[in-house]
Structure 1
Amino acid sequence: MTDSLSINEVVRRTGLTSRTLRFYETKGLVAPLRTASGRRIFGARALSRLHQIAVLKSAGLSLSQMRRLFAGHSVDLSAMLTAQLQMLDEEAAQINCTRQIIRSAVSRLDDGERIDAATFCALIESGERMTNQGPREWQAITDRYFSPDEKAKWARAWQLIDSDFDARSYDAQWKNLGYRIKAAIPIEPESDTAQGFVDEWFALLKPFSAVSTPDMWQSTMKMYDEMDQWMGEGSPDPGFDKSVWDFMKRATTARIMRGGTLPSFEADKKGD
């Protein structure tokens, strides 16, 4: 037991919160030992697992994918890593643009040019536009489908989402799923493969379904039904295209027509 650490010591060493450590435990990702009094202690194996979780999370794996990997089940790592590489390439392009802006400013200073406050602010704002391209692009789209009141509701709703929510990992998971669905179609919407995609799709929708209202859901449906009108060069990337969206609607309808339920969604709406 001398090599074991208390949960507070693990928090200090890893930077994870105690809430996150307990969450990983409930998901079966890590299994700390217990003292006679019931206190959690983390041995070498549990600490190694926490390191593996951090590495896999940085690569874009979801917690369910990690659980399957740790259990020895197959995971489509190729598709997931391909989607992650695409996201990293996009980020690298944004960073490169910002670097060029900064280099231009340094060059002008080295040449003796005096940059006043207004010019300096313009350079900063230009850099922010490059590194925040995604949110600004989405704003142009959501302005077309959501009223100011609905957007205010979204802002309040998203504040309720777990502070440990990783937006980058979440985007990578959507790209991974969209890539695999695109590669699989055409398949029958009633097939086991298609229905497996339905399960994954609605599991990923969990953060959305937990905070959305029926009106917000309908506006979002309309936005994606018309995505062929706004998808194109310079548009935001939702992680899937119109063919994937249309197929998932057919697969979801097939589920409902057969009397099935939609995981992590209908249960959330019963209290609305």
Structure 2
Amino acid sequence: MTNLLDIADVAAATGLTSRALRFYEARGLIRPLRTASGRRVFGAGELERLHAIVALKRAGFTLAAIGQLLDRPDARLGAMIAAQQAAVEAQRAALADTADLLSSIQSRIDAGERIDVATLCSLIRKGNAMTTNEWRAVVDRHFTAEQQAQWGERMAALPPDFDQAAYQAQWADLGQRIAAALPMDPASDVAQGYLREWEALLAPFAAVATPDMMAGASRLHDARADWDGQADPGFSSDVWQFVQAAGRARAG
């Protein structure tokens, strides 16, 4: 058994969470061995498979495509790689363009030059486009075109003065404060206060979203292991799990 690691050891050694490992197992991507007592253990073969999953996920492959590649060596890997190469090259070009702009601005700042409004607007636009592209890849994997169209229609019902950037900043602030307070009893007064604050912040979205949209958003965050690190909603997976636990504690 010395060459086998249990799930806690694998999580500590790889930086992956135990929840992510169980998520991959539930999707059939990894198949850890079981001890007589039912404890999950990983040998070299499963660790090699886990490495492949992480590498392909970082390259932008969906978990469904990764499952194909791992289980069917004759899958159309060449076509997938070619498509991913094109996407990576496009991202590289966009990053290079942004890097050139940043270098130019930094040089002007170092020279004591005042940065004009047009340049600042260009910088903001590029930063916003990069964030949008990150979310686009995640959304395309989890929602159909029809679902995305419904989201667009409903979000258009938000007040004209709704400030998306300020709203995202509020989520980031709340997410950081909850993360700093963890761990805590989900049923405690403090935890329930955070839950009320979370629901209040969610209220503008909940006011225009359909029940199916709300359920879809929850499923997206429940599947966080599929896209963690590819886009930032402003709060971590641990914060999301805490909020769900606080909700269950209030209901129960």
Range into which the TM-score falls when normalised by the shorter chain: 0.5 to 0.7
TM-superposition CA deviations, 1:32-78 (whole Å, max 9, x none): 22222211111222111111111222334333433343334521112
Q: Go from structure 1 to structure 2 and tell me whether the alpha carbon gap of 1:99 and 1:130 turns closer, same or farther (over 3 Å shift).
A: farther
Distance 1:19 1:110 in 2: 47
Query: Following TM superposition, by how much is the alpha carbon of 1:29 offset from its aligned partner in structure 2, in angstroms?
Result: 2.5
Please state whether the residue corresponding to 2:96 is helix, strand or coil.
Answer: helix
In the alignment, residue 166 of structure 1 is paired with which amino acid? W
Say if 2:227 is the partner of 1:166: yes
Match of 2:15 in 1: 15
Aligned length: 165
Q: Does 1:153 align with 2:209?
A: yes
- The 2-side partners of 1:31 and 1:49 are apart by 9
Give 1:32's aligned residue. Answer: 32
Q: C-alpha distance in 2, partners of 1:51/1:23?
A: 15
User: Distance in 1 between the 2:25 and 2:77 partners?
Assistant: 24
Residue 95 of structure 1 aligns with which residue? 95
- 1:1-272 alignment to 2 at 5 Å? 1-114=1-114, 122=121, 124-132=123-131, 134=133, 146-147=153-154, 148-149=156-157, 152-153=208-209, 156=214, 157-161=216-220, 162-166=223-227
Provide structure 2 residue ranges, at least 5 long, that are not aligned to the other structure.
Answer: 140-147, 159-204, 231-252
Q: In the TM superposition, what is the alpha-carbon distance from 1:81 to its structure 2 partner?
A: 1.3
Structure 1 residues 84-118: Cα deviation after superposition (integer angstroms, max 9, x where no partner) = 112112211221221122112112123232559x8
| Superposed displacement of residue 149, structure 1 | 4.5
Q: Secondary structure at the match of 2:41?
A: strand
What letter corresponds to residue 224 of structure 2 in structure 1? S
* Structure 1 counterpart of 2:198: none
The answer as to whether partners of 1:101 and 1:127 remain within 8 angstroms in 2 is no
Distance 1:168 1:83, change over 3 A: farther
* Counterparts of 1:40 and 1:83, CA distance in 2: 36
Q: Give TM-score, length-normalised by structure 1.
A: 0.49
Cα distance in 1 between the residues matched to 2:79 and 2:60: 11
For residues 94 and 126 of structure 1, do their structure 2 counterparts lie closer, same or farther at Cα, with a shift above 3 Å needed?
Answer: same
Residue 197 of structure 2 corresponds to which residue in structure 1?
none
- What are the superposed Cα offsets for residues 145-177 of structure 1, whole Å, 9 maximum, x if unpaired? 6143498427744243122232998xxxxxxxx
TM-superposed CA distance for 1:31, in Å, is 2.2
Identity of aligned residues (%): 35
Q: Distance in 1 between matches of 2:27 and 2:55?
A: 17
Instruction: Measure the CA separation in 2 of the matches of 1:167 and 1:18.
Output: 14
8 Å contact kept, 1:7–1:40? yes
Question: Deviation per CA, 1:201-244, whole angstroms, max 9, x where unpaired?
Answer: xxxxxxxxxxxxxxxxxxxxxxxxxxxxxxxxxxxxxxxxxxxx
Structure 1: stretches of 5+ with no match in the other structure: 170-272
TM-score of the two chains, using structure 2 as the length reference: 0.53
